Structure 1
Amino acid sequence: MDSILVTGNGPLNGQIPIAGAKNACLTLMPATLLSEEPLTLTNAPRLSDIKTMTQLLQSLGAEVSSLQDGQVQAMSSHNIDNHVAEYDIVRKMRASNLVLGPMLARLGQAVVSLPGGCAIGARPMDLHIHGLEALGAEIELKEGYLHAKAPRGLKGAEIELSFASVGATENIMMAATLAKGTTVIRNAAREPEIVDLADCLKKMGAHIDGAGSSSIIIEGVDRLHGATHPVVTDRIELGTYMLAPAICGGEVELLGGRMDLVGAFAEKLDQAGINVSETDKGLLVSRNNGRVKAVDVTTEPFPGFPTDLQAQMMALMCTAEGTSVLEEKIFENRFMHAPELTRMGANIEVHGGTATVTGVERLKGAPVMATDLRASVSLILAGLAAEGETLVNRVYHLDRGYEHVVRKFSGVGAKIERIKGS
C-alpha cells in the first residue's frame, strides 16, 4: 500500500492549478441517465472516484469515454439495459446513490445498493427516500438494496427537507426534471455544486429556478436533450491548497480560485492572520512572519464553514498561537485525524463533536495513518510544517479527492514524495 513521505522544508512559493470539483462532477455524471442524448463534461478532475462512477454508469449500459487526459468525460445513455447498481461498485463511494433519482425518472425503476465511502458517520438515505416517495416513488429496502419503482410515473410535489442535505437535494432535483408538474424543494442545500448541477440540467432543457437559495422550483418537462458543461472549480481542493502557505509561510497563487466559493473559510483565514486576495488568475494567499492566531470554527452547510475543510483547518490550528475550538455539526465521527496529529506533538482534546486545540510552536514528524480522504491531506499539511520526516500511510483515500497531489505540492517547493507499496 502506498504512502507519502513529507519533510518540513520552510516557506512555499509559486502557483497551484485547481481542478474541477469532485463532488460536482460525481453529481453531473449521473445526469446523463436522464437523456438519450450525449452529455459532455469538461474540466473534470482526474480522480479514482470519477473512475468508480464511470464503472457504475457503464454497468448500467451507459457509454463513457475519458478524453484529453481525463479532463473531458463524454457520456451517452441511449441504451440503458440494466437498472441495478450493484454493491461491489456502490460500496466504494457514497455518491453512487445519485443514480437513483435519474433512473427512477427516466426508466421508472431502480435497484440501488446502500452506499459506502469514507467512515465519517452514518449519512443515512432517509431524506432521499422521503423526497422521492413524495414524488410518487415506491421504495422498499431489501437485503441492503433500495428497490424503487414509479409505476404511474413521478409527479411534482412540495418537499421540505428536515436537513439541507446536498445529496438529497441533488437526487430529488434530478428526478423532478422529468416529473409531471411543479416540484418545490424547501430547505434545499445551497452549495455551489447544487448551482452547477442546475446550470447543467438547464442546458439539457430542464426548467429550474432558485438553485443556490433554500427554495428550488422545478417545472417538469417530457424529455431532456444533450449538452456540454464545464465542471465548477473544486472549492475543497482550493481551500486545502490555500492552507499550504498558511501553515508553512510563503506566497501561493491558486489558479482558477474564486472567493465566492470559499467566503466563510477565507474569513477564518483572515482572522488567523493570513492574507487572501483576488488576482486575474485566481486567489493569492500569503502569511506574514510569526505564528498564526487561534480561531474557533463551527462547520455548517454552505455558505458556512465546510466540513470538508475541518481536518485541514485543524492542522493549521495545531501550531497557532492560543487555543481554538473546532465544532463539527455535519458528520459525527469526523475527528479521527486528531490522534494522528497528536502523534506529531499536537495538543488536542476531543469531546463528542468538539475538538479543543492548543497550539504548539512546532510539530514533529512521525509515522501516521490516514483515516479518510480529508484526514489524509490534513496530515500532509501538518508534515509540511513539522520538523523532520512524516510518513503518511494508507493514502489510497487521497486519490479519491486530490489529483496529482505530490506534483502540486512539489511545484511550490514542498519536499514530498510518494512511496509505492509492495
Structure 2
Amino acid sequence: MNTFVIEGGRPLSGTITVAGNKNAALPMLAATLLTDEPVRLENVPDIRDVRTMLALLDDLGVAVEATGKNRWTLAARAVRHTAPPDELAQEMRASFVLVGPLLARYGRAEMPTPGGDRIGRRPLDTHIAAFEALGATVEVRPNRYILQAPGGLRGADIFLDEMSVMATENAIMAASLAAGTSVLRNAASEPHVQDLCHLIVRMGGQIEGIGTNTLCIEGQSQLHGTGATVGPDYLEVGSFIALAAMTGGHLLIQQARPEEHRVTAVAYGRLGVRWECRSDDIFVPADQALIVEDGLHDAIPKIHDAPWPGFPADLTSIALVLATQARGTILIHEWMYENRLYWVDRLISMGGRVIVCDPHRAVVVGPARLYGQVVTSPDIRAGMALLIAALAAEGRSLIHNAQQIDRGYENIDARLRALGAQIERV
C-alpha cells in the first residue's frame, strides 16, 4: 500500500502546469476502437486509470505504442475479442466506456459490472437505454452485461434520463458508426465530452451542437485515423487553486483554460478566494483573506454541485476542505452522490469543524486549526482533499492508500515538492 508522509504548515508557491484531463483521455483512448487506422493522442496523463485503459485496449488486440512523453499511438487493426478481462475492467468505472465503440464497430460487447470510486449509486440504466434505442439487445446477468447488434446500430432520437457524462460518451461513440442520424437530448456537455466530440469530428464524424445539451450525430460507414491533444484537467486547476489559498502561497497555474473556471470562481469566491486570469494561465495571489460571504437575509451561504456548466461534483470535496480555513459558516450540498461526504470523519479528526447533516449536506464552520493525522484515502477526490488538508495542517500526516490519488493526479508528489511541499512516498 502506498503512503504519503507530509510535513504540513508551509506556504506552497511557484509555477505548476496542468496535466491532461483524465476524464477526456479515457473516452478518447476508447474512441480509437472506432477505426482501424492509427490515432495519435498527446498530453495523455501518466496516471493509474490511463494505464488501466491502455492495458484493456492492449488485451483486446489494439496496437498500443508510446511515442514520447504523454504521447501514444493506437491502432485497432486486429481486435481479437470484445470481452475485456474482468480483473482489469473492474478496476475502474470508466472501463464501461469501451462498450459504445465495441458495439458500434464489432456488433458485440461483454462487460462486467465496473468498479471505481464508491461515492454513491451510479447505475448503468441510462447507458443501457441509449444502446437499446440505437437497436442493440442487452442481456443483463448477475455482475455482467452482454450487448449485441449483429445487424449494426441505427440512428435514433434519444432523451437521456440524466445528464450522465459516460452515458453521453457511450451514446456519442455508438451513434458515430450507426446508420442514419441520431439526436442526443439532455446530453452532458463537460469539457471532456467536448474533447471527445472534437476527436470524433477529426476522425471524419459529423456532430453538431458540441458544448450544448443537444447533439446531432450523423452516423458514418467508417472513421479514419487522426491526431488530437487531450485538454487540460479543470479538476486539477480547481484543486491547485484551493491548495494555494489554503497554504497561503502564490501560484501560477499554466495552461489552465480560465474560461472553464467561471463557476469555480463563483463557488470559491463565496469563501473569499480570488485569482487573476493571465492569457491561458491563472495566478493565485498569496496570503488571501478567506472570509465566507454573507447570505441574503442572514441565510447560510451554500456551495452545491450541478451538471456542467454548474460546479463540478468532483470539486465538492476540495471546496469542503477549503471552507475549513474561511471565517464563517457555509453549507456544502452534494446532491448528485449520496456517499461523497462519507470521508469527512477523517477531516474532523484533523481538527475540521464539520457537521454532517445527512448523506448530501455538511455545514462547515471556519477557520479551524488543522493538525497532522493518520488517514486513509477512500477515493481520488477525497484523497486529494485530504492531501491538501495535510499540506495546510500543522505537523506530520500520513495518507494511506495514496494510489487512489494517483488514479487522477499525475506524479502529484513530485509536482508538489517543486512548490516547496515536504512530501514523501513510502
TM-score, with normalisation over the residues of structure 1? 0.96
State the match for 1:12 in structure 2: 12
Alignment of 1:137-216 (within 5 A): 137-216=136-215
Aligned to 1:21: 21
Counterpart residue number, 1:35: 35
Match of residue 328 from structure 1: 334
Distance in 1 (alpha carbons) for counterparts of 2:131 and 2:59 = 23
Task: Give the letter aligned to residue 324 of structure 2.
Answer: C
1:347 equivalent among 348, 353, 368: 353
Listed as ranges, the matches of 1:4-403 within 5 Å are 4-69=4-69, 71-293=70-292, 296-350=302-356, 351-403=358-410
One-letter amino acid of the counterpart of residue 151, structure 1: P
Note the C-alpha offset of 1:29. 0.4
| Helix, strand or coil at the partner of 1:357 | strand
Listed one character per residue, the Cα deviations across residues 222-252 of structure 1 (whole Å, up to 9, x for unaligned) are: 1000010000101111111111111111210
When structure 1 is superposed on structure 2, of 6-15 and 319-328 the one drifting more is 6-15
Separation in 2 of the partners of 1:252 and 1:327?
Answer: 28
Tell me the number of residue pairs that the alignment of Structure 1 and Structure 2 aligns: 418
Report the Cα distance in structure 2 between the residues aligned to 1:291 and 1:188, rounded to whole angstroms: 36
Change beyond 3 A, Cα 1:149–1:240: same
> Which moved further from structure 2: 166-175 or 239-248?
239-248
Offset, 1:287 = 4.3
C-alpha distance in 1 between matches for 2:263 and 2:326 = 19
Stretches of structure 1 lacking an aligned partner (at least 5 in a row): none
**2:255 counterpart letter in structure 1:** G
Structure 2 unmatched runs, 5+: 294-300
Q: CA offsets, 1:350-377, max 9 Å, x none?
A: 1121111111341111111111111111
The structural deviation recorded for 1:266 is 1.8
Measure, in 2, the Cα distance between the counterparts of 1:83 and 1:404.
32
Give, in angstroms, the shift of residue 88 of structure 1: 0.8
Note the aligned Cα RMSD (angstroms). 1.3
Using the alignment, how far apart are the partners of 1:67 and 1:311 within structure 2? 36
Q: Determine helix, strand or coil for the equivalent of 2:416.
A: helix
Task: Report deviation, 1:270.
Answer: 2.5
Quick check: 1:344–1:364 contact (8 Å CA) kept in 2? yes
Which whole-Å CA distance do the structure 1 matches of 2:379 and 2:368 have between them?
27
The range that moved more, 289-298 or 341-350, is 289-298
**Which residue type is aligned with residue 353 of structure 1?**
H
2:298 is matched with which residue?
none
Task: State the TM-score, normalized to the length of structure 2.
Answer: 0.96
Q: Distance in 2 between matches of 1:315 and 1:302?
A: 22
CA distance in 1 between partners of 2:14 and 2:402 (Å): 25
SS at match of 1:92: coil
Distance in 1 between the 2:224 and 2:30 partners? Answer: 14
CA change 1:344–1:195 in 2 (3 A) is same
CA distance in 2, matches of 1:117, 1:67: 28
Cα separation, 2, equivalents of 1:291 and 1:212: 33
Q: Match of 1:250, SS?
A: coil
1:274–1:288: 8 Å Cα contact kept in structure 2?
A: no
Deviation at 1:335, TM superposition (A): 0.8
Task: Quote the offset at 1:289 in angstroms.
Answer: 4.6
Q: CA–CA distance in 2 between the matches of 1:328 and 1:68? A: 39
Aligned residue for 2:274, secondary structure, equals: strand
Identity %: 37
Amino acid at match of 1:48: R
Deviation string for 1:94-150 (max 9, x for gaps)? 110011010111101111111101111221110000001000000111242211111
The CA deviation at 1:312 is 1.1
Letter in 2 for 1:163: E
Answer yes or no: is the 8 Å Cα contact 2:258–2:280 preserved in 1: no
Q: 1:56 & 1:377 partners in 2: Cα distance?
A: 26
Work out which of the residue numbers 396, 401, 412 in structure 2 matches 1:405.
412
Q: Which residue matches 2:297?
A: none
Deviations 1:175-232 (A, max 9, x none): 0001111100000001001110010000000000112101000001110000100001
- Distance in 1 of aligned mates of 2:147 and 2:103: 7
Q: Cα gap change, 1:386/1:219 in structure 2, threshold over 3 Å: closer, same or farther?
A: same
